[in-house]
Chains A and B, each alone.
Chain A
Amino acid sequence: MIRKKEAKKIVFQSEKEMPMMPMSLGSMLYNKTGAWRNIRPVVDLENCIQCGICWKFCPDMSIFIENEFPYVNYDYCKGCGICAEECPVKCIAMVEEEK
């Protein structure tokens, strides 16, 4: 399972390196889906009531909890806006991404 946590893309140099069976050797973490985003969620921790609803509904597992507060992992957040929409106190704002 440890190997799964590697964030590298696996590329085979030759057929010989390929496993005998088509099996997965690593996670999708190499694929930084944050690049898909047009708008980014910004959490206002002052008003956050720590309900965990944004964490619960994020389809990209991109909200993590640290010191009892939610933070966005911008490497993978696709900017769907569900967290902002579902936050009961509306403390998450979706702001235009600067490219």
Chain B
Amino acid sequence: MKKPRTMKLSLPDEELVGSGNLACQGCGATLAMRYVLKALGQRTVLCIPACCWSVIDGPFPHSCLDVPVYHCAFETAASTASGVKAGLEMVGDTETTVVAWAGDGGTFDIGIQALSGAAERNDDIIYVCYDNEAYMNTGIQRSSATPFGAWTTTTPVKHFKNRPKKDIDAIMAAHRIPYIATASIAYAEDVYKKAKKAKDIQGTRFLHIYAPCPTGWKSRPEDSIRLARMVVQNSIFPLYEIENGEKYTLSIKVKDKKPIHDYLKLQGRFRHLTEDQIKFMQEEVDKNWARLLRKVESSD
């Protein structure tokens, strides 16, 4: 073997997510949990509604997570977390971080009422949405996080989804909560940094993490990180932070914005799209990007 050299890991080596879990090969949601828990540490309670993560964790009485998990009903991630936080406060525990951990369906669609309620009260919880852009656990149905053009089992190729993805981060910003951040698993250190930052803030904090799903996107498992990187570099999913609902900061300043074409071509869910449709999608992405830049500039 070669000269001894020490390995410098960019993240702490403590693992709170264990092997043997039930995630598919190349699952992005698992990595999202791994990075966030590295930042939050063991003194954390997770409230997980029905989603892939309630399966990944493992069947009773087993759990791949080294933190307490409260499995709750699909629409109740935020309200469960609010309740757990209130309960802990009553017994004098102010140290434990309470996290609601939900998928995009549980956040953008069915859980939005509970989330909006918690955010309006500014309950002291971290809400993490890992976004795989459809209801994956029940077999790939469309959610309001599914992007324009995507195939799902409820938006078949002939009737692919023809509405844009809901802008959940803007909705959360309208609640004027102290901290909102978007993150992508390809930028592990950035996910870690944002979760750490969120941990030290009081009030409702919202993390929106892009988590590729090879099973639902019909992509190769080895491409999960690559897709999560491309989606930032072509600014379909820009990385930014919003403080107090008004101060926008870009986390990764994309220098030469890539076209979305290559990103789409790696995923079976976009295979049916014609060049014209891709051109339309590119225009929408450019518009969204310009809109975000305006928000960033006006908050300087």
Chain A interfacial positions (CB closer than 8 Å to B): 1, 4, 9-10, 12, 18-19, 22-33, 36, 45-46, 50-52, 55-57, 59-62, 65, 67-70, 73, 75-76, 78-82, 84-86, 94
Contacts and interface: CB of A to CB of B under 8 A. Distances in A.
B19 A60 contact: yes
Nearest to A65: B7
Contact of A28 (B5, B8, B20): B20
Interface residues of B, number: 44
B168 interface: no
A27 B20 contact: yes
A50 B7 contact: yes
7 contacts: A27-B18, A50-B6, A56-B11, A57-B188, A59-B23, A76-B19, A76-B20
B15 interface: yes
Given A4-B18, A36-B25, 12 more contacts: A22-B61, A27-B63, A28-B57, A29-B18, A50-B6, A56-B188, A57-B31, A59-B23, A62-B19, A65-B13, A81-B220, A85-B225
B192 to A, nearest CB: 10
Given A10-B61, A59-B34, A24 B7 contact: no
B207 to A, nearest CB: 18
Interface of B: 1-2, 4-11, 13, 15, 17-23, 25-28, 30-31, 34, 57-58, 60-64, 66, 69, 188, 214, 220-226
A32 B20 contact: yes
A22 B10 CA distance: 37
By secondary structure, the B interface counts as loop
The 9 closest A-B pairs by CB, nearest first: A81-B222, A24-B63, A76-B19, A28-B20, A80-B26, A80-B25, A31-B20, A28-B64, A80-B221
A28 B21 contact: yes
By secondary structure, the A interface counts as loop
B4 A4 contact: no
A84 B221 CA distance: 11
Contacts of A94: 222
B19 A52 contact: no
A69 B259 CA distance: 37
A36 to B, nearest CB: 7
Contacts of A9: 62
A31 to B, nearest CB: 4
A33 B22 CA distance: 8
Contacts of A85: 222-223, 225-226
B19 A59 contact: no
Nearest to A75: B19
Contacts of B224: 59, 80, 82
B64 A79 contact: no
A52 B8 contact: yes
Contacts of B225: 57, 82, 85-86
Contact of A61 (B11, B19, B63, B223): B19
